[in-house]
Amino acid sequence: MIYLGSDHAGFELKERIKEFLKRENYEFEDMGAYIYDENDDYPDYALKVCKKVLNNREKGILFCGTGQGMDIAANKVFGILAAVCWNEETARNANKLNVDIITLSGRLTEPRMAEKIIKIWLNPMDIDDRHIRRIKKVKDIEREFFNPKMI
């Protein structure tokens, strides 16, 4: 299952990618935005998708204008690993890093490129001990700075 979320700037690309996911028989759920609203805010949709991804140990794709806002918001959620992707190389890296979520730019990434990125990222993971070791260190940083008293 892949959970999708976008703000207004990622809305059109999300709608296009839904068609692609249908054609390719991927199971997905759209967590909004359900209509184009230029006043909506990407963190609201990032949070919805992250909660689903965490609860179900599934994958997610977030769309905003640049991909950066969604990436920043998703990586604030304890336990989530997200990566912004814009070409095949960054998609391959997201696959190696086994990220939970990729984020895409609705303003800078063409739908055909977004489709390529998704296919590469969802390929069976290219396991490499170096990447696993480094991600474990990233998770250690997350744990070191997690302080429930601050919330």
Tell me which residues touch ligand RB5 (CB under 6 A): 7, 9, 42, 64-66, 68-69
Q: How far is the CB of 68 from ligand RB5 (least distance, A)?
A: 4
CB-side neighbour CA atoms (13 Å) of 67? 20
**45 or 96: CB nearest ligand RB5:** 45
> Beta partners for 101?
60, 82
**28 or 42: CB nearest ligand RB5:** 42
**33 or 120: CB nearest ligand RB5:** 33
CB 60 within 8 A of CB 49: yes
Q: How far is the CB of 82 from ligand RB5 (least distance, A)?
A: 13
Q: CA gyration radius for the chain?
A: 15
Provide φ and ψ at 64, rounded to 5°.
-140, -165
